[in-house]
Chain A
Amino acid sequence: MDIASYITIIISTVFINNFILSRFLGLCSFIGVSKNTGPSVSMGLAVTFVTTMASIITWLIYNYVLLPYNLEYLRTLSFILVIASFVQFTEIVIQKKFPALYRAFGIYLPLITVNCAVFGVAILNTDVFFLHGHAEPGSFLKALVQGFGAGAGYTLAMLIMSGIRERLEYADVPHSMKDVPITFVIASLMSMAFLGFSGFKI
């Protein structure tokens, strides 16, 4: 397991298969929290933490609990349990350490629980790294890197979108297109731009 394969995974999850712009997962908070750069980057970091931790724990649970007892069909249930617990954990810590951030997140922090990007990366990990009914060698670290890459891709998309939306405040957008509608237009344009990465073979 050389370092190159990890870099490949990172580049692949951040650019080529960006969770928001290529897989269209986690759009709820992508539209909801991307108004200002500050909160959106913090949101990205929170999601990155949850995806990374969720990847680790779901890999462990899948490998040591679900697979040995032939309980693969319970993966959705147990993964949701893991994700919900970690979001709760993150919420408690943020509420204690960063109250201002907690207020900026509002409803979107508990909503990371049902953010499909987090669940998506956990499911994707089991699909990719447990192809033949057992863990591929070195797949634990790969799952970790993939989880981190998914979060990083989410943060990147949030950063770009919030930057655009901040400048959009000064633009003369037609009244009916203001705020969310124009955001969807921008999201689709960004998605098309990220489509340019899709030809890369690494």
Chain B
Amino acid sequence: MIMRILTPVLAMAFLGLIFGVGLAYTLKIFGIKLDPKVFRILSMLPGSNCGACGRPGCAGFADALARGEAIPSGCVVSTEDARTAISELLGLSSEEKARTVATLLCSGGVRAKDKYKYEGIATCKAATLIFGGQKVCSFGCLGFGDCIGGCPFNAIKMGSCGLPVVDIKKCTACGHCVKACPKNLYSMLPRSVGYYVKCSSKDPGAVTVKACKAGCIACFRCEKACPNNAVKVESNLSYIDPGKCKNAGKCFEVCPTKVISRR
């Protein structure tokens, strides 16, 4: 009786031992030393495997970091402390790309006129299919909130005037809203720059005025007012260069349609 139990146990233990020793010997001949840095970096990364860095998960990003093919700020989800720690581990200087935040570049909402009453499926993607959406302005936000559903961090809420509002504290700049918006209204802007043009309309000023009360009419006042030459009006739309802007705020004061926003 006892042999019926003992034999299989012994047989399996014998087989396991043979293969175990065989594998250990193989590792001794063929084994390569893995970079211990990779594991330490991996333990500092968030581990959510969100893929926002463009690598196959956090392990792939840690591998790329160790080989010098990526920079710590490539991970938008990790905290500032974690990035500093990884930079120190890799011996990089702490000079990093500025943190960005998703910014909606449209201030239309209820102030932008409708060209027809849309009663279809309440998503921006569906509405876009019918003459580019119900707004007269072909560039503007349709207000059905595809970006709200697209945000994995619940950082976007629908505001009171029919426009989605990004919570700057919750936003990790993962870029999901950029992909979700069929009108391409989201832009990643540095957090340090306080002023931005909250409009995407490239229509001439006269057309914009008829379509929306809160559109950039390309009046050039901001360009003339800026002391740092950071503002340029190109194809009927003002643009503030985040690299040159020193937060003087002159453009914000002179804008007649209040389309330049302050963070």
Binding site for B on A (CB under 8 A): 61, 65-66, 69, 71, 74, 77-78, 81-82, 85, 88-89, 92-93, 95-97, 106
Distance of A90 Cα from B11 Cα, bound (Å): 25
With an 8 A cutoff between CB atoms, is B27 at the interface?
yes
Q: How far is the CA of A96 from the CA of B23 in the complex (A)?
A: 14
13 pairs, CB–CB < 8 Å, chain A vs chain B: A61-B15, A65-B14, A71-B7, A71-B8, A71-B11, A74-B8, A81-B15, A81-B19, A82-B15, A88-B23, A89-B26, A92-B31, A93-B30
Chain A residues, CB < 8 A from B8: 69, 71, 74
Contacts A69-B7, A71-B7, A89-B26 given; does A77 touch B19 at CB 8 Å: no
Chain A: CB-nearest residue to B30: A96
Given the known interface contacts A85-B19, A85-B23, the answer about A77 and B32 at a Cβ–Cβ threshold of 8 Å is: no
Task: Say yes or no: is B12 at the interface (Cβ < 8 Å to chain A).
Answer: yes
B11 engages A81 (CB within 8 Å): no
Tell me which residues across on chain A come within 8 A of B54, comparing CB atoms: none
Do most interface residues of chain B lie in helix, strand or loop, or is the interface mixed?
A: helix
| B56 CB-CB contact with A under 8 Å | yes
Given contacts A85-B19, A106-B56, contact A66 B26 (CB under 8 A): no
Chain A residues within an 8 Å CB radius of B16: 81
Beta-carbon contact of B26 and A92 below 8 Å: yes
Q: Please give me the 7 A-B residue pairs with the lowest Cβ-Cβ distance, nearest first.
A: A85-B19, A96-B30, A92-B30, A69-B7, A96-B32, A93-B30, A71-B8
Measured CB to CB, the residues of B under 8 A from A are 7-8, 11-12, 14-16, 19, 22-23, 26-27, 30-32, 56
Q: How far is the CA of A106 from the CA of B8 in the complex (A)?
A: 36
How many inter-chain contacts with C-beta < 8 Å in the A-B complex? 46
**Contact: B30 with A65, CB < 8 Å?**
no
- Asked if B32 and A95 sit within 8 Å, CB to CB, the answer is yes
Q: Which of B12, B19, B22, B31 contacts A96 (CB 8 A)?
A: B31
- The residue on B at minimum CB distance from A94 is B30
Tell me the smallest distance from the CB of B9 to a CB of chain A, in Å. 10
Residues of B within 8 A of A78 (CB): 11-12, 15
Known A-B contacts A85-B22, A93-B26; the reply to A69 vs B11 at CB < 8 A is yes
- Asked whether A65 lies within 8 Å of B23 as measured between CB atoms, the reply is no
**With A65-B11, A82-B19, A96-B31 already in contact, 12 other A-B pairs whose C-beta atoms are closer than 8 Å:** A69-B11, A74-B11, A78-B15, A81-B15, A85-B19, A88-B23, A89-B26, A92-B23, A92-B27, A93-B30, A96-B30, A106-B56
Residue of A nearest to B7 (CB): A69
Cβ–Cβ < 8 Å partners of A74 in chain B: 8, 11-12
**Min CB distance, A83 to chain B, in Å?**
10
The complex places the Cα of A106 from the Cα of B22 at a distance, in Å, of 24
Which of chain B's residues have a CB closer than 8 A to the CB of A81? 12, 15-16, 19
Chain A residues whose C-beta falls within 8 Å of the C-beta of B31 in the assembled complex:
92, 96
